[in-house]
Amino acid sequence: MTVQSLLARQAYSLLLRSLTPFYLLRLWRRGKAEPLYRAHWPARLGSYEPGYRAQIALARTDASAAHAPLVWVHAVSLGETLAARPLVAALRAQLPGMRLLLTHSTATGMEAGRALLQGSDLQTWLPYDTPGAVRRFLRAHTPNLGVLMETEIWPNVLHEAGKLGVPMVLANARLSDKSLRQGQRFAALLRPAAHSLALALAQTDADAERLRLAGVSQVQVCGNVKFDISPEPELIERGLDWAAADTRPIILAAVTREGEEQDLLDDWGTHHAEWHGLPFDQAHLPRLMIVPRHPQRFDEVARLITDKGLSLSRRSTWEGGRPDAAALAADVWLGDSMGEMAAYYAAAKVALLGGSFAPLGGQNLIEAAACGCPMVMGPHTFNFAEAAALSIEAGAGVRVQTFTEALNEADSIIRTERQPDMVEAAQAFAQRHRGAAQRMARALGQFWRC
């Protein structure tokens, strides 16, 4: 490590230490809407309550687990946690008896991650990236291997893991041109961190090339593990049941971000007022459903809808979990539940990709394809560039520039014969690119002896 890199990491660590009180205050405030953020908060500093320490000790003394390797997987939020699901399953098949240490940074990730736990597995928060917190975390758990999902390069995590001899792998790795340029501005800090990775398992050839430019020395291309996520049949049936209860075709605004809902609702009002009648009568005009990405914004988005003079039905209020009379009379449905994204896609005739109509890089569109939902995306899909391009090439999606164009395109898809063809194309597209989890598990096999 050069003197410049050492000074950069020390300055970074000092900055994080000074910001720690504000970080914890922000978590506490966020916990008002999502109480899980306040749970076990000392773990954010690498400090563990007696009950959790007892779990660690029990796992170490359990005869069935004492000699099993502990694989640490960090999945920051919901998307990464869902992506980790097929990878964890493939790892368990490769190494029967493997123990899992699962860490997260968000409440949605933590909640979804519980379904991945078995036996002597552990789950906690990833500590704040200060040297002391990371050191306490690693010494408390002593993992045999660390797997960071997608984009999580933390300088002190990687430095301290290297000091303790824990090999670190970036799995399902992606790096956009924008992120590469930003990383190069802080090369003294981030390049040594990237170089310390034992391996990066990239989604695409383009990601692999950018990761090498960022400083990762060992890179393999394995594909995108999100293609291996199979939607739960129960959720698909639930969504189809919602659609069957309604005479109106559903246009889904999927995983929207701040600012997008306002623009969409502006255009929806104009579009809806001028909607061409053919072949719709009043009872069969498309219905808008909005599913925001962040649950703490559900109430905010609800206010945006009603402020537009539109009647609203929230998924959380449906009697019996099915659209009731009030829902069927409403102009807009708000998807304010967690863990039902597959149901929302199954209910919709077409989806508009959130995060792609503002310069935010888009969202994972693979789940929509697996559910057979045609996708209309905006101009900004740089975080999922290859998946977006391949879906368009396969006929599963189309690209437009604005919400006005997106609504016109959605209208066209619904009222013509394109929709069944796009459903079939979406499902075939998702199926064709499966297998990344197995490839990643085989690549990680070289570390079992560590």
Both structure tokens of 217: 């020395």
Taking each helix axis from N to C end, the angle separating 155-163 and 131-141, rounded to the nearest 10 degrees, works out to 50
Instruction: State the CB neighbour count (10 A cutoff) for residue 320.
Output: 6
CB 291 within 8 A of CB 272: no
First and final C-alpha spacing in the chain: 24
Phi, psi of 70 (to 5 degrees): -100, 115
Tell me how many degrees the CA angle 205-145-175 measures, rounded to the nearest 5: 25
Out of 34, 80, 152, 260, which one is annotated catalytic?
Answer: 80
Q: What is the dihedral of CA 260, 266, 270, 275, to 10 degrees?
A: 40
Query: Which residues, listed in sequence order, are joined to residue 351 by a DSSP beta bridge?
Result: 252, 375
* Cβ atoms within 10 Å of 152's Cβ, excluding its own: 20
| Cα separations in angstroms, 282 against 248, 266, 345, 409, 412 | 9, 21, 24, 20, 17
Give 414-418 contacts, CB < 8 A, sequence gap 24+: 414/249, 414/251, 414/286, 414/349, 414/350, 415/278, 415/279, 415/280, 418/374
CA distance 214 to 357: 28
> Which residues pair with residue 73 across a beta bridge?
102, 147
State the number of CA atoms in the 13 A half-sphere of 353 facing the CB: 35
Contact 168, 196 (CB under 8 A): yes
What is the residue whose two structure tokens read 């962040």?
Answer: 294
Strand partners, 289: 252, 333
User: Which residues lie closer than 8 Å to 6 by C-beta, 6 or more apart?
Assistant: none
Q: Which of 230, 220, 226 is nearest to 442 (CA)?
A: 220
80 in catalytic set: yes
Encoded amino acid at 273, one letter = A
Query: To which H or E segment does residue 91 belong?
Result: helix 78-94
Q: Which of 116, 110, 66 is nearest to 91 (CA)?
A: 116
| Token couple for 86 | 């097929």
- Residues catalogued as catalytic: 80
